[in-house]
Structure 1
Amino acid sequence: MSISAKDVKKLREQTGAGMMDCKKALQEANGDFEEATDILRKKGQQLSEKRADREANQGLIVSRVSDDGKKAAALEINCETDFVARNDDFQDRAQQFIDIVFENEVESVDALMDIEIDGLSVSQHLKEMVGKIGEKIKISRIVFAETDGYYISYIHPGNQLGVLVEFEDAISDEKIGRNIAMQVAAMDPVAVTRDGVDSSVVEQELEIAKDQLLNEGKSEEIAEKAAQGKLRKFYEQNVLLEQKFVKDNSLTVENYLDENDTPLVKSFHRLQLGNDS
């Protein structure tokens, strides 16, 4: 059966698949658009299964915050190459997925996979993207959060790093909030305050510091005291409110917030591409 270029173009516009794939699907379906669409979807499924074991370390971090700062969401979507991540269609789909997370208040990737868009689940949409793009595509992480305080979002240029910061109350100057989000992006703190540092991390830092001092010939008593000093240094470097403010090292982050009458930070989420921690 002869397939016109007009029909191929129409199917491409409907499915986003490549021109040759659309032509072959229409030929196989004897010009039936519905059947051709099913053929393309099955092809996407097969390709998705074939690429399941491939590494997908490129992609985008995207986020969204409500106008009142009370609701926030972030998402990491991965592909195999930076070329695909820069594609307008891939970026549009990433935005569509973060909107779904935000509007449906989705709290896990598994829950997101079951939500339907235009009659297809997100999982099926991802398989169609694989069929169209030819690379492994996955959504690896999502964050959805609500607060009585205020959320600020920061996406580092290139969309490979994103931060959500929760403040204890509304903030009057979003520039200050953005500076704190940039601090989290740049300095990668482990917690907001000392109390938020996992006890196992504290024990490990003390043990490492003490062992180093003992190996240097220090006595048990001196090593014990000096290890506490090293732990304080660890806090200063890794606890957000105690860190030196990156734009003015004469201040800690807490000092900076106090000087600008800005509420303290309550929590943060930091998503870096390919880093699950």
Structure 2
Amino acid sequence: MAIKAADVKKLREMTGAGMMDCKKALTETDGDFDAAVEIIRKKGQAMASKRADRETTEGCTLAKVSADGKKGAVIILKCETDFVGKNESFVALADSILEAALNSDAATKEDILDLQLNGVVIKEVITEQIGVIGEKIEIADYSVVNAETVVPYIHPGNQLSVVVGFNQAGFDVQVGKDVAMQVAAMAPVSVDKDSVPAEIVESELRIGKEKAREEGKPEAMLDKIAEGRLGKFFKESTLLEQAFVKDNKQSIKQYLNAASNGLTVTEFKRFSLS
């Protein structure tokens, strides 16, 4: 049977596959859309199997918050090449997956795969797109922040994204944006010194002692010197103690408290592809 251009267009819109692939699938199935979709899915499965051991080093990362502003999430969707990672349709796919995850109880990247997107399980959607694009695609990371207010930030180019949770609602929107951009720019290791992982603290103390020893400091002074250098590390590497990039005369903690008494950050997530 003759395949109409309108039918090819419809199948392309349904699957994202190329025009020629859609026409070929419809021709093979005598215009049966369901069977044509299945052919395209099988092509994706075959391609996914072929590229399973390929390395995904490119992609995009996005951040988004719920309508009430109390839940935020960040995702990294990876692919093989920069060309695909910057493609509008690839970014749109990442955005759609993130939206579905945000509107669910998904807590991990594995949870997302079982969700549905337009009636299709996301695991299958990704497989289909592998067939369409011809590259391995995978959800590399996903994380959620719940708080009284959550603020997102996506750096231009979709290579870095942030969500920051705050303990209050109703404060100046610009304050939230400033802190989210601070997290993006300064990459703190934690909110405050009390939330720095123990292994990092131990590593910094060890490095501090080794440096002091190399500098010829007295052995009896090494612990004290290391503690002093740890304090400097906390000031430079924990969000609330960091100097505010827009005004380095005050810390983020001081900036937040000046904006609203008792305002602080409860949690943040920062994803970067570099």
8 Å contact 2:96–2:117 — kept in the other structure?
no
Matched, 1:195 2:198: no
Mark the CA change 1:65 to 1:5 in structure 2 (over 3 Å): closer, same or farther. closer
Post-superposition shift, 1:187? 0.7
Sort the Cα spacing of 1:247 and 1:45 in 2 relative to 1 into closer, same or farther, 3 A. Answer: same
CA–CA distance in structure 2, aligned partners of residues 228 and 14 of structure 1: 60
Q: CA deviation at 1:119?
A: 3.5
The structural deviation recorded for 1:67 is: 3.9
Identify the residue that residue 165 of structure 1 maps to in structure 2.
Answer: 164
- d(CA) in 2 for partners of 1:253, 1:145: 20
2:93 is paired with a residue whose SS is helix
Contact 2:151 2:164 in 1 (8 A): yes
1:37 counterpart residue number: 37
Structure 2 residue 92 is the aligned partner of structure 1 residue 92: yes
Tell me if 1:9 matches 2:9. yes
Q: Once the 2 structures are TM-superposed, how far is the Cα of residue 10 of structure 1 from its aligned partner?
A: 3.7
2:243 matched to which residue of 1? 244
Contact map agreement 2:145 2:165 (CA 8 A) in 1 = no
User: Structure 1, residues 96-129: CA drift from partner, whole Å, max 9, x if none?
Assistant: 1111111113111111111123432100000111
Name the counterpart of 1:117: 117
| Equivalent pair of 2:62/2:158 in contact (CA under 8 Å) | yes
* Residues 251 and 113 of structure 1, relative CA distance in 2, 3 Å threshold: same
Instruction: Measure the CA separation in 1 of the matches of 2:101 and 2:119.
Output: 17
Amino-acid identity (%): 45
Q: How far apart in 2 are the matches of 1:163 and 1:14? A: 32
- 2-side partners of 1:114 and 1:162: how far apart? 24
Secondary structure at the aligned position of 1:210 is classed as helix
In structure 2, relative to structure 1, the CA distance for the partners of 1:202 and 1:132 (3 Å cut) is same
Number of residues of Structure 1 aligned to a counterpart in Structure 2: 273
Please report how far the alpha carbon of residue 161 of structure 1 lies from its aligned counterpart in structure 2 after TM superposition.
0.8
| 1:67-90 deviation line (CA, Å, top 9, x unaligned) | 432122222111222222332222
User: Which residue type is aligned with residue 222 of structure 1?
Assistant: M
Residue type at the aligned position of 1:65: V
After superposition, residues 1-277 of structure 1 pair within 5 angstroms as 3-147=3-147, 149-261=148-260, 263-273=263-273
C-alpha RMSD of the superposition:
1.9
Q: Judge conservation of contact 1:171–1:177 (CA < 8 Å) in 2.
A: no
Change (3 A) 1:6 1:239: closer
Q: Any idea what SS the aligned residue of 1:74 has?
A: strand
* Deviation digits for residues 156-199 of structure 1 (CA, Å, limit 9, x no counterpart): 11111111111121142010111111111111111111111112
- Other structure's SS at 1:249 match: strand
Once the two structures are TM-superposed, the CA of residue 155 in structure 1 deviates from its matched residue by 0.9
TM-score between both structures, scaled by the size of structure 1: 0.91
For 2:136, the aligned partner's letter is K
Q: Which amino acid aligns with 1:247?
A: K
* Aligned partner letter, 1:230: R
Worse overlay, 180-189 or 53-62 = 53-62
Paired residue type of 2:119: G
User: Residue 239 of structure 1: CA displacement?
Assistant: 1.0
Structure 2: any 5+ residue segments left out of the alignment? none
Q: Is the 8 A contact 1:115 1:122 kept in 2?
A: yes
Q: Which runs of 5+ in 1 are unaligned?
A: none
Secondary structure at 2:164 match in 1: strand
Question: For structure 1, which segment, 263-272 or 62-71, has the greater mean C-alpha deviation from structure 2 after superposition?
Answer: 62-71
Q: Distance in 2 between matches of 1:226 and 1:33?
A: 72
Greater displacement, 256-265 / 193-202? 256-265
